[in-house]
């Protein structure tokens, strides 16, 4: 493991209330994005973009587990995340946890997020966060990341390449 690379180590609760960790998804690629359901601009835009990417990958998307991990566990309960994702981003599974569990997941993926006052939020705060999607391999290893600035075409192509390469390696 390259020092400083994102890694998939987490112990969280999915939006159905089931406990999960990285071993729960072994054998699948992970497409992981961190955010919070009160996010007004960044998360809706990123989740919409990633959903289009997954649609465009067609049958290949079946090999990918899209995960949305909250950085706002105080508000993002499993029920809240399930409602939010089923409405707008049904391909994604939401993950939440205790403060400590979320901090550990953030450290593992090298994600930064910190609560900040926000007068426009009904509860008076927002949680600005790293806006990067992480592609992890079938064994949970880091493969690639996509910043907010990377467009759909480029993400489709790069994910397709990684999945194709991994599929060929599996044959050997
Ligand atoms: Ni967000």
pLDDT for the residue numbered 6: 93
| Rounded distance from Cα 130 to ligand 1 centre (Å) | 8
pLDDT for the residue numbered 169: 55
pLDDT for the residue numbered 164: 86
| Rounded distance from Cα 33 to ligand 1 centre (Å) | 9
Calculate ∠ Cα 152-156-160, nearest 5°.
170
Q: With respect to residue 49, please indicate whether it lies within any of the assigned structural domains.
A: yes
Strand-pairing partners, residue 65, are 30
Q: What is the rounded CA–CA span in Å between residue 170 and residue 172?
A: 5
| Rounded distance from Cα 125 to ligand 1 centre (Å) | 13
Q: With respect to residue 18, please indicate whether it lies within any of the assigned structural domains.
A: yes
Helix (H, G, I), strand (E, B) or coil at 107: helix
DSSP 130: -
Phi and psi at 43, nearest 5°, equal -65, -50
| Rounded distance from Cα 1 to ligand 1 centre (Å) | 28
End-to-end CA distance of the chain: 23
Read off the pTM. 0.93
Q: Which two tokens stand for residue 98?
A: 């205790």
Domain that holds residue 144: 11-163
For 51-98, the pLDDT digits (tens) are 999 999 999 999 999 999 999 999 999 999 999 999 999 999 999 999
pLDDT for the residue numbered 165: 65
Q: With respect to residue 168, please indicate whether it lies within any of the assigned structural domains.
A: no
Q: With respect to residue 70, please indicate whether it lies within any of the assigned structural domains.
A: yes
Residues lower than pLDDT 50 in the chain = 1-2, 171-172
Q: With respect to residue 2, please indicate whether it lies within any of the assigned structural domains.
A: no
54 and 66 in contact (C-beta within 8 Å)? yes
Helix (H, G, I), strand (E, B) or coil at 51: helix
Q: With respect to residue 172, please indicate whether it lies within any of the assigned structural domains.
A: no
Cα separation values, 39 from 21, 68, 94, Å: 25, 13, 14
Domain CATH code at residue 90: 3.40.30.10
Strand-pairing partners, residue 146, are 133
CA atoms in the 13 A half-sphere facing the CB of 34: 28
Q: With respect to residue 109, please indicate whether it lies within any of the assigned structural domains.
A: yes
User: How many other CB atoms are found less than 10 A from the CB of residue 125?
Assistant: 16
Q: With respect to residue 142, please indicate whether it lies within any of the assigned structural domains.
A: yes
Q: Name the domain count of the chain.
A: 1
Phi and psi at 81, nearest 5°, equal -65, -40
| Rounded distance from Cα 164 to ligand 1 centre (Å) | 30
pLDDT for the residue numbered 1: 44
């Amino acid at each position: 493991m390259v020092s400083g690379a994102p890694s998939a180590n987490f112990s969280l609760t999915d939006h159905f209330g089931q406990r999960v960790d990285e071993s729960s998804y072994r054998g699948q690629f992970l497409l992981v994005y961190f955010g919070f359901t009160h996010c007004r601009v960044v998360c809706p835009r990123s989740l919409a973009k990633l959903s289009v990417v997954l649609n465009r990958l067609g049958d290949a998307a079946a090999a990918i587990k899209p995960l949305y991990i909250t950085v706002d566990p105080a508000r993002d309960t499993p029920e809240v995340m399930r409602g939010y994702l089923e409405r707008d981003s049904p391909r994604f599974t939401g993950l939440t946890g205790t403060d400590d569990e979320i901090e550990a997941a953030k450290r593992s993926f090298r994600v930064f997020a910190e609560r900040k006052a926000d007068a426009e939020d009904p509860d008076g705060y927002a949680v600005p966060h790293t806006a990067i999607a992480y592609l992890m391999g079938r064994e949970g290893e880091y493969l690639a990341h996509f910043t907010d600035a990377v467009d759909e075409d480029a993400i489709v192509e790069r994910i397709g390449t990684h999945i194709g390469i991994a599929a060929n390696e599996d044959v050997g």
